Chain A
């Protein structure tokens, strides 16, 4: 029976110290690894005959502006659809050099998800076949979902936000 403890044990047996920070928020096993090892961990999770995490559910980025050196967290959500188990895998990267290896060689799902992550956060996925902006215009030179970017267009002079406190 595949359980969170068994998955954790297999990962620690295979990678030792390279996977760390195991936790189980609301029942989902969550762990981290360094960004150099992300493809190795994903390949192991996908191809191991007992784990069989062959389905990439989601891939997104979270921006923590206060954690210096580890501002952008790429979060993979993997799923074993036969056993119905989900696992969350996080990789942190520095905002000055946001290079992360791409997962498109393993999962086709990652193609547009990584383009969206690049578009909104600026994470550069090394090896991606077509890393250009997907939702915004190509001429845009900032990354909107980062925390320092304000919600509204600052060039408007007709709206008074002091009274309504957004």
Chain B
């Protein structure tokens, strides 16, 4: 795997030609979702060898993070997996909270669960409907994007942005959930299940879709573990490893949900696993709303004045608030020295943050454990021997997000 690629490999007897031909499935291609380049050696329509090239959208996040304060790194994490950016933001805030040893009130945890599960639904909706588009069925995409729009409106109510949200703060949220947020959530929970059932009837037992996807792009569980797969791609092979149950964070242990698992690891299993996860996320949001009813509705952040900016009215009238504001913005707070690793279950698997702090305003080293980068290494092995059209839908079923791959 990943040897120096041999061009024009001699083909055995009975092939269509004498040598393989080289095809550049280049970085700007309408079928590859994101900037991915693959140099393919083909025998007619069949792929003999593939060499991927990455780095077209590398933006040097790890280097920039060494020069930014902790609250300024959140917009960088937005742009990792930009289809589900609230999950990246929450993961980063939880990493810093682990470093400083902050305890969050339960209501903040439940609010975070709601936002993260909404982001997960948005990410899986994009992935699954785009698999439909790549196999030729455009209507499913149109049906579910109306609900992705509703999710974006909820994010906009909470934080002001739709896609790259920069949502939340170290210690909680920047403002409480307003009544409009709860109304929009109720509207979403009322109308979405029916549309999701329609989406499933379009694809799940559709003869053409099943013939296109069953047995295609599969990987075995042992190879997947060796390659470092996580997330829905690993769960489709049969291993039920989910960070929300293995290393619970943000009060996920209080919730009652199951982890859907596939059997063969092919494309059809990944599609079904993502659909099942969308249903689990809807159930989690309903449970979180139910649990929040008994809690004090005015709590939306932890009491850590060293890291959480005070209210603007207090900054202009009270002395302590002014001092805290100054210390936080200018970077005079005492940040503990140490190294911490925290991971969350992103849309694609274990998104990890390895933070080394030397007590200064910016991290000494921040490394993102990006799931897409790690499992994209398996792509040449998966598509070897398959047709070009299967390779394209395999890439979209792995849910490769270019921003997360390159960081």
Contacts of B15 in A (CB 8 A): none
**Smallest CB-CB A-B distances: 3 pairs:** A109-B228, A135-B55, A135-B58
Q: Are A130 and B369 in contact (CB under 8 A)?
A: no
Q: Does A56 contact B (CB under 8 A)?
A: yes
Residue of A nearest to B407 (CB): A135
Complex CA–CA separation, A55 to B354 (angstroms):
17
Contacts of B58 in A (CB 8 A): 135-136
Q: Are A26 and B247 in contact (CB under 8 A)?
A: no
B4: contacting residue among A58, A86, A111, A130, CB under 8 A: A130
What is the number of residues of chain B that contact chain A, defined by CB distance less than 8 Å? 42
B225: contacting residue among A55, A112, A116, A129, CB under 8 A: A55
Q: Does B3 contact A (CB under 8 A)?
A: yes
Indicate whether A56 sits within 8 Å of B228 (C-beta atoms), given known contacts A84-B247, A134-B55, A136-B55: yes
- What's the minimum C-beta distance from B94 to chain A, rounded to whole angstroms? 12
A: residues with CB less than 8 A from B are 25-26, 28, 30, 54-58, 60, 62-63, 75, 77, 81, 84, 86, 88, 107-109, 111-113, 116, 120, 129-130, 134-136, 144-145, 149, 151, 166
Contacts of B356 in A (CB 8 A): 62
Q: Are A108 and B1 in contact (CB under 8 A)?
A: yes
Chain B residues touching A, majority SS: mixed
Complex CA–CA separation, A55 to B369 (angstroms):
14
Q: Are A81 and B226 in contact (CB under 8 A)?
A: no
Q: Does B161 contact A (CB under 8 A)?
A: no
- What's the minimum C-beta distance from B177 to chain A, rounded to whole angstroms? 30
Q: Are B246 and A81 in contact (CB under 8 A)?
A: yes
A25: contacting residue among B55, B60, B340, B352, CB under 8 A: B340
Q: 15 A-B pairs, CB-CB below 8 angstroms?
A: A25-B338, A26-B338, A26-B339, A55-B225, A57-B350, A58-B369, A60-B354, A62-B365, A63-B365, A81-B225, A84-B247, A86-B341, A108-B378, A111-B1, A129-B2
The B22-70 residues at the A interface (CB cut-off 8 A) are 54-55, 58, 60, 62-64, 66-67
Name the residue among B1, B99, B339, B406 with the largest chain A CB count within 10 angstroms. Answer: B339
B367: contacting residue among A58, A111, A129, CB under 8 A: A58
Contacts A77-B341, A81-B241, A144-B63 supplied; 17 other A-B pairs, CB < 8 Å: A26-B340, A58-B354, A62-B356, A81-B225, A81-B246, A84-B247, A108-B1, A108-B228, A109-B374, A111-B1, A129-B1, A134-B54, A134-B55, A135-B54, A144-B60, A151-B66, A166-B67
